Homo-oligomer: A and B are copies of this chain.
Amino acid sequence: MLLGIGDDAALWQPSRSHRSAISTDMLVEGVDFERDAMTLGDMGWRAMAANVSDLAAMGARPVLATVALGLPQTLGLDEILELYRGLAQCAASWRLTIAGGDLSRAVALTIAIAVVGEVRASNVKTRSGGRAGGVLAVTGALGAARAGLELTRRDETVGAALKEEALRAFRRPQPRVAEGRFLAASRNVEAMMDISDGLARDAGRLAAASGCGALLDAVPVAQSARAVALARGHDPQRFALAGGEDFELLAAIEPRAFAHLARRYAARFGRKLERIGVLRAEPGIVWEGATLEELGWDHFAPPGA
């Protein structure tokens, strides 16, 4: 950063060899989050993480963010600082600068972030590059964030470590920037996006943008999500399929290159690049022999969510 908060605008020198990327997200209390489910610090972290994840999905490295806050009169200075600390901690963890901001009064706490990053032109991944036959894979197990949200609503007798895993995934999600850049550097990764609204919906979006459908045959379920799903009498795979805000990445990969890429991924990150299915020419997302529509899923409300 050449010039930060305090003037009319912030300045930076973009890399000469890269493209710039920008994304924005607005979170509103009572709509996108509830204050009794998490601290204000968690809210700040999650808002920043959601934006960083959008850049990770393009293979970009985040550089800076602007933060506009709408603050209700009931919020005290200590609380505003706690919120800001969460934003700043997440930004620092992924090495981006909070370059500018704006404050306004508001009825409900509102967090609007814009995040700017950089990506080598040859590495840019979109949602639309997938082809029939491509392997669909995710960067990690799913469902933990949803399990954490459920635990804030009603406690369950699951082990303390699993509870901790779920609550942490919900309150302090980890956007997959390094994983996104690793995958983006491979020309065998044909499409990519982040999973913010649940795998079922987001796989449908990637497939549709690529002019394909998809057959899903296995969803990797986080241990904590499995425990909470079973305690609630849900099928763990469906629980993970519907759960949102895991911020893992979903990629479509050239089928002959998958095994080699997955070995390199495991060696680099100590986690599996999980194969979940395959893109195919027929439209629709098929799960356990039926399309999600046939199973009664719609875009806004998957069953059992």
Chain A interface (Cβ within 8 Å of chain B)?
Answer: 2-3, 6-14, 16, 19-28, 30-32, 54-55, 57-58, 60, 64, 66-70, 99-108, 110, 112, 114, 116-117, 119, 121, 124, 126-128, 193-194, 209
A22 & B106 in contact (Cβ 8 Å cutoff): no
Q: Which of A2, A102, A193, A194 has the most CB of B within 10 A?
A: A102
Given A16-B16, A28-B106, CB of A11 within 8 Å of CB of B7: no
Q: Which chain B residues border A9 with CB–CB below 8 Å?
A: 21-23, 54-55, 57-58, 60, 117
A68 to chain B: closest residue by CB:
B26
- Besides A8-B194, A12-B19, 6 more A-B contacts (Cβ < 8 Å) are A9-B117, A14-B14, A24-B66, A24-B112, A25-B68, A107-B107
Give the docked Cα–Cα distance between A14 and B100 (Å).
19
10 interchain residue pairs of minimum CB distance: A112-B112, A114-B114, A26-B68, A24-B66, A8-B57, A9-B23, A14-B14, A9-B21, A8-B54, A31-B105
B104 & A58 in contact (Cβ 8 Å cutoff): no
A14 to chain B: closest residue by CB:
B14
Q: Which chain B residues border A27 with CB–CB below 8 Å?
A: 104
A55 & B14 in contact (Cβ 8 Å cutoff): no
Give the docked Cα–Cα distance between A141 and B68 (Å).
30
B110 & A7 in contact (Cβ 8 Å cutoff): no
Q: Which chain B residues border A101 with CB–CB below 8 Å?
A: 24
Complex A-B: 11 CB contacts under 8 Å: A8-B58, A10-B22, A10-B23, A13-B121, A14-B20, A24-B68, A26-B70, A28-B104, A66-B114, A107-B107, A108-B108
Give the docked Cα–Cα distance between A277 and B264 (Å).
67
